Amino acid sequence: MSADQYVVSNKQVICRNQFIGVPKESDMTITTSSITLKVPQGLKAIVVKNLYLSCDPYMRGVENSGNDRLFYAFTVDTPVVGYGVAKVVDSGSPDFQEGDLIWGPTKWQEYSLLENLDSLVKIQHKDVPLSYYNGVLGMPGHTAYVGFNEICSPKSGEYVFVSSAFGAIGQIAGQLAKLMGCYVVGSAGSKEKVDLLKNKLGFDEAFNYKEEHDLDATLKRYFPQGIDIYFENVGGKMLDAVLANMRVNGRIAVCGMISQYHLDQPEGIKNLVQLVYKRILMKGFRVYEYNHIYPKFLETMLAYVREGRIVYQEDVNDGIESGPAALVRLFSGENSGKGVIVVARE
Amino acid sequence: MSADQYVVSNKQVICRNQFIGVPKESDMTITTSSITLKVPQGLKAIVVKNLYLSCDPYMRGVENSGNDRLFYAFTVDTPVVGYGVAKVVDSGSPDFQEGDLIWGPTKWQEYSLLENLDSLVKIQHKDVPLSYYNGVLGMPGHTAYVGFNEICSPKSGEYVFVSSAFGAIGQIAGQLAKLMGCYVVGSAGSKEKVDLLKNKLGFDEAFNYKEEHDLDATLKRYFPQGIDIYFENVGGKMLDAVLANMRVNGRIAVCGMISQYHLDQPEGIKNLVQLVYKRILMKGFRVYEYNHIYPKFLETMLAYVREGRIVYQEDVNDGIESGPAALVRLFSGENSGKGVIVVARE
């Protein structure tokens, strides 16, 4: 067979331009390219068929003051980069076989040639929904586990607040806190999410931050004793209100500050002096610095998922064409749960 | 002898009213009371003659939002409370003998009856200046040691910035960093202090923050590679500039924020999102939670002091009457080094 016989069409979500502010659908376009489903001779790479793509807030890209971007999800005229679950179609590496399932950074297209094999995880346990490896069993779940367990050193009975609590990470942080025996309150942006947090995910309380006009008073209502642990996903006014309500020796895992990334001028945080008064720890972290504990995390989380002790809400979008709208909905808050784009079911 | 024969006059610095903003001399007054130099029968207490009183920024008192003050240096119509070095005149406890030297929370007066004996440390090593137990060998030294070693986990070769670097704590934090093999820059509020930091305390560089109009640019000049460790004493604009210049996995020991305590509305910190970008740790702390490492600290620091590897600059004020002015000068920045009030030399 000639190489041509392995050439197939390949639908892609291409980045047209860098975002200004939050992503718009017009920042992306769907094109059809082609790809050879064979690894070029001598290249230590794999070709995969993408099944489930992950849609995450970090993909907007955040920049630090030195202008070097942290995440490179978007490069103009190339496919969007994100995590995904995929099936190996051809392998140039002894570590991967045709038919293997993997998760890791892939691209928003039907098929991908992946060369950075160290960044991929082979999926061994297939009795759970495969899309979970984009979520509760993958990077977001691991992030929640690291932030809650490693950064916050939780104890049973502590008071825990999670913002963006119905998001890919917040859901898990809150449920881990419940399993630890903590009192857990979450904030989210709609009545529907608040109801699900309380009735399906087992949070003790939840509130819609869009309906609260004095977040300090809101937190005092839910935490009359104050907050021991804050799992921070949003930043800005919420962080300021939390700082005013932290307890002595409180801990804040700084996972993200989604309310701030798109602002030209971030909001000023006025209550940071509480770090002195209350001996508070705040710690930013990146999950890839904790890869060594992924196996321990996976074992723990697989058991919780199989036993139904942790449940996971996905916002499922069908077809790769649904990608741009799904990403935009993350930032408008119209999504509901972990963003997943189903490219193919196997 | 009757008890009356033990009654002596006792000069005191009395707090007239709570501070509004920074302390003024008129907030305090000198009065002469009397005291019996005998512990009342059956009371587990000691009577001490105060030798050296400590004059520290925390004494202004800082309040948290719940209105419960952290430090109780000032209660109207009673003597100012602060740390001091004192000699035992009479003891109702088997743990203390007449003639023992102690340091701990005492009061701004010539003689004190002290009942909280657990808070006192007996001075065993008298070959160093006794006033050092208010500073490099006492609470400020221990604070610097805890903040730098325990909170910041320093490594040789790291880039360290210390604000309020000529203060009671900053001096020691910077010198500990030099001994660790770090590159150390300090900020202070006068040319004299900057010169002493560089020429006497061995800082690599120092600058007068009052002469810098763009602190971000200043820090970029001194730290082109960025800052690994920030020993935070001031807060506000300096903290914001530091956050913009932190390196990945940087650490900030939040010892104090002296620029903020007296403000009705603290300054907003805009660069906190750097905690996400750079995985920064910030940690407030209180030295008394690290009392268990005081013996290790003391052994280390005594050796440094005896060998001349750490030097210590005191701002010496003669006579208890000099107390109010000395405290006011701490906040105007006219002081120079660790504030000490000499009540008696033995």
DSSP B290-342: GGGGHHHHHHHHHHHHHTTSS---EEEEESGGGHHHHHHHHHHT---SEEEEE
More confident residue, B109 or A22: B109
- Residue of B60, B277, B281, B283 to mutate, interface with A, max A Cβ within 10 Å: B277
A150 in contact with B, Cβ within 8 Å: no
* Spatial distance between the Cα atoms of A151 and A160, rounded to a whole number of angstroms: 13
A2's CB contacts (< 8 A; 6+ apart) are: none
- A279 vs B286: CB contact, 8 Å cut-off? yes
Judging contacts by C-beta atoms under 8 Å, the chain B residues touching residue A273 are 62, 235, 257, 260-261, 266
B278 in contact with A, Cβ within 8 Å: yes
**Burial tier of B275 (Cβ tally within 10 Å: 0-12, 13-18, 19+):** buried
* Spatial distance between the Cα atoms of B264 and B248, rounded to a whole number of angstroms: 33
- A65 vs B272: CB contact, 8 Å cut-off? no
Predicted complex ipTM: 0.90
* Spatial distance between the Cα atoms of A142 and A295, rounded to a whole number of angstroms: 10
Q: Which of B257, B269, B283 sits opposite A269 (nearest CB)?
A: B269
B271 in contact with A, Cβ within 8 Å: yes
- B244 vs A70: CB contact, 8 Å cut-off? no
A286 in contact with B, Cβ within 8 Å: yes
- B266 vs A266: CB contact, 8 Å cut-off? no
Neighbours of B33 (CB within 10 A): 13
pLDDT at residue number B334: 87
Q: Is the pLDDT of residue A291 over 90?
A: yes
pLDDT at residue number B89: 98
- A270 vs B273: CB contact, 8 Å cut-off? no
Q: Is the pLDDT of residue A218 over 50?
A: yes
Q: What is the pLDDT of residues A81-107, one digit of tens each?
A: 899 999 999 999 999 999 999 999 999
Which residue in B has a C-alpha nearest to residue A285's C-alpha?
B279
User: Which band of pLDDT confidence, cut at 50, 70 and 90, is reported for residue B67?
Assistant: very low
Which residue in A has a C-alpha nearest to residue B68's C-alpha?
A277
Residue in the block written with tokens 């009479």: B90
Give the residue-averaged pLDDT of A22-35.
94
- A284 vs B284: CB contact, 8 Å cut-off? no
A261 in contact with B, Cβ within 8 Å: yes
Q: How far is A62 from chain B (nearest CA, A)?
A: 8
Pairing of strands B46-55, B81-91: antiparallel
Q: How far is A269 from chain B (nearest CA, A)?
A: 5
Token couple for B294? 């005081």
Residue in the block written with tokens 């642990």: A229
Q: Is the pLDDT of residue A5 over 70?
A: yes
Give the residue-averaged pLDDT of B130-159.
97
* Spatial distance between the Cα atoms of B45 and B56, rounded to a whole number of angstroms: 25
Q: Is the pLDDT of residue B1 over 80?
A: no
When the pLDDT of each residue in chain B is averaged and rounded to a whole number, the result is 93
Q: How far is A254 from chain B (nearest CA, A)?
A: 6
Which residue in A has a C-alpha nearest to residue B285's C-alpha?
A279
Percent of chain A beyond pLDDT 90?
A: 84
Judging contacts by C-beta atoms under 8 Å, the chain A residues touching residue B255 are 276
pLDDT at residue number A69: 47
In degrees and rounded to multiples of 5, residue A34 shows phi and psi of -135, 160
User: Which band of pLDDT confidence, cut at 50, 70 and 90, is reported for residue A335?
Assistant: confident
Token couple for A281? 């720890």
* Spatial distance between the Cα atoms of B133 and B150, rounded to a whole number of angstroms: 21
Element containing residue A55 per DSSP (H, E): strand A46-55
When the pLDDT of each residue in chain A is averaged and rounded to a whole number, the result is 93
Q: What is the pLDDT of residues B265-285, one digit of tens each?
A: 889 999 999 999 899 999 999
- B269 vs A268: CB contact, 8 Å cut-off? yes
Strand intervals (E) in chain B? 7-15, 28-36, 46-55, 81-91, 101-107, 111-114, 121-122, 159-162, 183-188, 205-208, 227-232, 246-254, 281-284, 314-318, 338-342
pLDDT at residue number A92: 97
* Spatial distance between the Cα atoms of A146 and B180, rounded to a whole number of angstroms: 30
Which residue in A has a C-alpha nearest to residue B271's C-alpha?
A266
Q: In whole angstroms, how far apart are CA B131 and each of A186, B73, B156, B293, B317?
A: 52, 20, 31, 21, 12
The DSSP letter of residue B27 is: G
First to last CA, chain B: 25
- A257 vs B265: CB contact, 8 Å cut-off? no
* Spatial distance between the Cα atoms of A85 and A137, rounded to a whole number of angstroms: 11
In degrees and rounded to multiples of 5, residue A151 shows phi and psi of -85, -40
* Spatial distance between the Cα atoms of B233 and A1, rounded to a whole number of angstroms: 72
Q: How many CA atoms lie within 13 A of A315 on its CB side?
A: 23
Q: What is the pLDDT of residues B198-239, one digit of tens each?
A: 999 999 999 999 999 999 999 999 999 999 999 999 999 999
Token couple for B324? 């109010």
* Spatial distance between the Cα atoms of A172 and A205, rounded to a whole number of angstroms: 15
Q: Is the pLDDT of residue A65 over 60?
A: no
Neighbours of B121 (CB within 10 A): 19
Percent of chain B beyond pLDDT 90?
A: 84
Answer positive or negative: Cα dihedral of B33, B38, B41, B45: positive
Q: How far is A218 from chain B (nearest CA, A)?
A: 15
- Residue of A223, A246, A277, A285 to mutate, interface with B, max B Cβ within 10 Å: A277
Judging contacts by C-beta atoms under 8 Å, the chain B residues touching residue A274 are 64-65, 284
Pairing of strands B246-254, B227-232: parallel
Among the listed residues A104, A115, A164, A110, the one whose alpha carbon sits nearest the alpha carbon of residue A138: A104
Contact A338, A140 (CB under 8 A): yes
* Spatial distance between the Cα atoms of B166 and B179, rounded to a whole number of angstroms: 17
pLDDT at residue number B224: 98
Residue pairs spanning A and B at CB distance below 8 A: 109
- A65 vs B271: CB contact, 8 Å cut-off? yes
